[in-house]
Amino acid sequence: MSKAAHYLQEHLLGEVMVSSDARKYFATDASIFTLTPSLVVYPRGEQDVRKTARFTWQLAERGRIIPITARGSGTDQGGAALGSGIMLVFPAHMNRIVELDPKSGVVTVEPGLNYGRLEQTLHTHERFLPPYPESYEYSTVGGAVANNASGDKTLKYGATRGFVKSLRVVLANGEVVETFRLSKRELNKKLQLQTLEGEIYRSFNALLEDNREVIEKLDLSVTKNSAGYDLLDIKRRDGSFDLTPLIVGSQGTLGIVTEITFETEVYNPQKELFLAEFESVEKAVQAILELRATPQLPSAIEMVDGQLLALIDRLNPNQLKDIVSKPFPAVALLIEFDDEGRQRKKIVRRTEKVLSELASRVTSASDLAGQTRLWKVRDAAASVLSHSEGQLKAVPIIEDGIVPPEKLQELVSGAYQIFANERLQVALWGHAGDGNIHMQPFLDLSQVGDRQKAFRIMDTYYQLIFSLGGSTSGEHGDGRLRAPYLPYLYGPEVYELFTKVKQIFDPYGTLNPGVKVGVRMDDVRPLVRSTYGLEHLYDHMPHS
Ligand SMILES: Cc1cc2nc3c(=O)[nH]c(=O)nc-3n(C[C@H](O)[C@H](O)[C@H](O)COP(=O)(O)OP(=O)(O)OC[C@H]3O[C@@H](n4cnc5c(N)ncnc54)[C@H](O)[C@@H]3O)c2cc1C
């Protein structure tokens, strides 16, 4: 056993593992990459996280870098949950709901808590956390915060960043900070501290002050964004200051989150759901734009394209039986409203009018059973992800691009063209109301040709995204996969700012290096695995 493992075993309450099985398990996430950690730690509390960080900091001061990667359930599709050093695995023990105030709906949790478990608990208090990702049943709240995750309800309610009230964060040297919105006076106190925290506030505050114009370039015209570091809402005109929006979405590269306080929303189980079928992408996009223009946004506008319907029909003919029939439409949209009674009726009438002019067929459901049936159309995308055709697997390489909703049609037709040029099957689905479309080409990563194709497709697709004023990541984050595109997305000035932010928080580069900044395409190419699978979704971790 290495000296590092020995030291940690002696000093931590949580388990430290170096077995090849444990390390192999954490060598993959839901991305196309593989990277084996040198050891695995299951922290039993914040103290374990602090001690681990302090240990790597002290080694780094002597010139030895051992990276730390925080890990939730490992469902990250960009390789952000992989690392070559210490894998700090949160779901095993740091998975509690610490406090829940049913009146205000404010809830404090540990990062390893399963998102689905939190939602279940909140529902019993008629609350919910709206930006849950589609993977919520098997992913953690810590991963959602680190990725600034979002999902079908984000159209109306926004992404994770908007729901995080405060955080407890372990810094690179093991200090703990609490982040929340500080008044100007409170900020001044922080600026006096002779600690890493004080150094961070001083340098970061100066960086923001010196680069106001550059920071404005971060404001892309997309409805949500998980690419890069969010520097837009740290310092406000009134002098107040909050590190929380920066840590959210930073993928464990600036600090390790040990506690999260979320605001939540009132949960209304009474909903109205439409399944609208369209003969063309153009008509579907027109309907989306008209629905977006109404004062009350739907709680979801989700899309599945005709190619996906045909694929599902081939793989599992019963799944869509009596819901959508052949010939399949070019696009099917699921449009949901969760407003209260009278309000909902009003919007529903307006929606019926929009759809009667544009859709070729509309089915609606007001009861839970009927809605669950219709949602099957959207849920069908999941079966594509786990499907393989021989050695071909649906791989996540261009799965999270987002464009302004008015550019959606160009995105879809551009994507179809890319797939046609590469002679690949295509299937699109996703959060169409937000302009965020998922697609995963079927490739065989054991073949050199397909690996080259993967990188060619990425280059062409992200050029398309840039040309439409979009972002490389609407919700999944940059990870390793999209990190090399950040300089092209934001330009060199913004990218340099990101590099400086990383330097301020993590001067030795121990926090999840190889993710977000300082990543070139040549760094990630050798990490592509030869077979793609989702083995990490199976839970073998110890639980307390
Ligand atoms: C089928 C499928 C569907 C998906 N659908 C969506 C979707 O709709 N929306 C969406 O946003 N994402 C989606 N994802 C991506 C992913 O599931 C989510 O982003 C999820 O929130 C990640 O949670 P996790 O627990 O798996 O995190 P992990 O994959 O373990 O980690 C993700 C990132 O969080 C960091 N991290 C984890 N814990 C901490 C911590 N305590 N402190 C600091 N950093 C930490 C990791 O280092 C890593 O950078 C999907 C993935 C799959 C496979």
Domain boundaries, the chain: 97-266, 272-385
Which conformational region is residue 74 in: left (phi greater than 0), alpha (psi within -120 to 50 degrees), or beta?
A: left
Task: From the CA of 150, give the closest atom in ligand 1.
Answer: 11
CA dihedral 272, 369, 305, 29 (to 10 degrees): 110
Tell whether ligand 1 has an atom less than 6 A from the beta carbon of residue 256.
Answer: yes
Contact at 8 Å (CB) between 180 and 166?
yes
E-strand stretches of 126-187: 127-128, 164-170, 176-179
Structure tokens at 485: 């595109």
Residue 352 CB: number of other CB atoms within 10 A? 14
How remote is the CA of residue 98 from the centroid of ligand 1, in Å? 21
Spatial separation of the C-alpha atoms in residues 74 and 351, rounded to whole Å: 39
Tell whether ligand 1 has an atom less than 6 A from the beta carbon of residue 31.
Answer: no
Instruction: Select from 3, 70, 76 the least CA-distant residue to 37.
Output: 70
Spatial separation of the C-alpha atoms in residues 74 and 274, rounded to whole Å: 33
Mutate to test the pocket of ligand 1, among 28, 69, 75, 515 (most ligand atoms within 8 A of CB): 75
Task: From the CA of 69, give the closest atom in ligand 1.
Answer: 47
Tell whether ligand 1 has an atom less than 6 A from the beta carbon of residue 430.
Answer: no
Q: In this predicted structure, what is the pLDDT of residue 317?
A: 84
Tell whether ligand 1 has an atom less than 6 A from the beta carbon of residue 135.
Answer: yes
Contact at 8 Å (CB) between 112 and 543?
no
Spatial separation of the C-alpha atoms in residues 279 and 312, rounded to whole Å: 19
Tell whether ligand 1 has an atom less than 6 A from the beta carbon of residue 148.
Answer: no
Spatial separation of the C-alpha atoms in residues 187 and 197, rounded to whole Å: 11
Q: In this predicted structure, what is the pLDDT of residue 1?
A: 60
Angle at 224 between CA 222 and CA 229, to 5 degrees: 105
Return all residues near 307 (Cβ < 8 A) that are at least 6 apart.
425, 426, 427, 428
Mutate to test the pocket of ligand 1, among 41, 88, 134, 254 (most ligand atoms within 8 A of CB): 134
How remote is the CA of residue 147 from the centroid of ligand 1, in Å? 6
Mutate to test the pocket of ligand 1, among 33, 35, 76 (most ligand atoms within 8 A of CB): 76
How remote is the CA of residue 143 from the centroid of ligand 1, in Å? 4
Contact at 8 Å (CB) between 469 and 225?
no
Mutate to test the pocket of ligand 1, among 49, 147, 395 (most ligand atoms within 8 A of CB): 147
Tell whether ligand 1 has an atom less than 6 A from the beta carbon of residue 109.
Answer: no
Q: In this predicted structure, what is the pLDDT of residue 544?
A: 43
Whose tokens are 């008629």? That residue is 126
Instruction: Let me know if domain 272-385 sits in CATH 3.30.70.2190.
Output: yes
Task: From the CA of 149, give the closest atom in ligand 1.
Answer: 11
How remote is the CA of residue 287 from the centroid of ligand 1, in Å? 31
Q: Which helix (H) or strand (E) holds 266?
A: strand 265-266
Contact at 8 Å (CB) between 317 and 376?
no
**Angle, nearest 10°, between helix axes 281-292 and 341-358?**
150
Spatial separation of the C-alpha atoms in residues 290 and 294, rounded to whole Å: 7
Tell whether ligand 1 has an atom less than 6 A from the beta carbon of residue 95.
Answer: no
Instruction: Let me know if domain 97-266 sits in CATH 3.20.20.140.
Output: no
Task: From the CA of 474, give the closest atom in ligand 1.
Answer: 11
Alpha helices by DSSP H, 295-340: 306-315
Whose tokens are 């949500």? That residue is 224
How remote is the CA of residue 79 from the centroid of ligand 1, in Å? 10
CA 335 to chain centre: 22
Q: Hey, whose CA ends up nearest to atom 34 of ligand 1?
A: 143
Tell whether ligand 1 has an atom less than 6 A from the beta carbon of residue 37.
Answer: no
Q: State whether residue 254 is helix, strand or coil.
A: coil
Return all residues near 108 (Cβ < 8 A) that are at least 6 apart.
97, 98, 99, 100, 259, 260, 261, 262
Residue 124 CB: number of other CB atoms within 10 A? 10
How remote is the CA of residue 344 from the centroid of ligand 1, in Å? 33
Spatial separation of the C-alpha atoms in residues 176 and 168, rounded to whole Å: 7
Tell whether ligand 1 has an atom less than 6 A from the beta carbon of residue 81.
Answer: yes
Under-70 pLDDT residues of the chain? 1, 538-544
Mean confidence (pLDDT) of the chain? 95
Task: Let me know if 10 is exposed, middle or buried by CB neighbors in 10 A (0-12, 13-18, 19+).
Answer: exposed
Residue type, 158: G
How remote is the CA of residue 263 from the centroid of ligand 1, in Å? 20
Contact at 8 Å (CB) between 277 and 362?
yes
Tell whether ligand 1 has an atom less than 6 A from the beta carbon of residue 110.
Answer: no
Task: From the CA of 152, give the closest atom in ligand 1.
Answer: 8
- Provide φ and ψ at 137, rounded to 5°: -70, -20
Tell whether ligand 1 has an atom less than 6 A from the beta carbon of residue 151.
Answer: yes
User: Which residues are paired to 429 by β-bridges?
Assistant: 304, 438
Q: In this predicted structure, what is the pLDDT of residue 205?
A: 98
Task: Let me know if 455 is exposed, middle or buried by CB neighbors in 10 A (0-12, 13-18, 19+).
Answer: middle
Instruction: Select from 8, 32, 134 the least CA-distant residue to 82.
Output: 32
Spatial separation of the C-alpha atoms in residues 419 and 457, rounded to whole Å: 8
